[in-house]
């Protein structure tokens, strides 16, 4: 049996009208220092999102979420933030902000398989 290690996660949210503070959970980002793991999963339910506001530019939101994914993965296309160390990228992605894409507070846990935990949290917090 694999050793359990601490992980941290946050829920990725879209706030169609930031000033109303209403949001739709669209993803989860999970980081484990000891397992050298940082990844995110996203599902954008356009119909539910447009239920908040018909004026939303869904393609723009997809572009922002794609940019988050690039930073998360640390790709060459992710700019200077994507070149930071893994823990700094996680902190940047989960930093408090007042934009249309935000994250929840960071929550800790323990697991032996961060990928499986990401899948479970995604199912519990986004799909259901």
pLDDT digits (tens, 9 = 90+) for 2-49: 789 999 999 999 998 888 888 999 999 999 999 999 999 999 999 998
User: pTM of whole model > 0.95?
Assistant: no
Name the band, by pLDDT with cuts 50, 70 and 90, for residue 104: very high
For residue 15, give the 3-state DSSP assignment.
coil
DSSP state of 101: E
CA dihedral angle for residue 117, residue 119, residue 120, residue 126, rounded to 10 degrees: 130
Query: In this structure, what token pair is assigned to residue 23?
Result: 């949001």
Cα–Cα distance for residue pair 108/51, rounded to 1 Å: 32
Distances (CA, A) of 64 to 36, 49, 102: 25, 15, 11
pLDDT in tens, 64-103: 999 999 999 999 899 999 999 999 999 999 999 889 999 9
């Amino acid at each position: 049996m694999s050793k359990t290690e601490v992980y941290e996660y946050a829920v990725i949210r879209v706030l169609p009208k930031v000033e109303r503070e209403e949001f739709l959970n669209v993803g989860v980002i999970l980081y484990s220092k000891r397992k050298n793991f940082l990844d995110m999963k996203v599902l954008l339910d356009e119909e539910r999102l447009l239920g908040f506001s018909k004026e939303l530019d869904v393609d723009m939101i997809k572009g922002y979420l794609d940019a988050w994914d690039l930073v998360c993965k640390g790709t060459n296309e992710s700019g200077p933030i994507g070149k930071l160390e893994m823990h700094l990228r996680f902190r940047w992605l989960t930093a408090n902000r007042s934009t249309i894409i935000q994250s929840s507070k960071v929550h800790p846990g323990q697991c032996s398989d961060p990928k499986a935990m990401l899948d479970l949290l995604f199912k519990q917090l986004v799909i259901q």
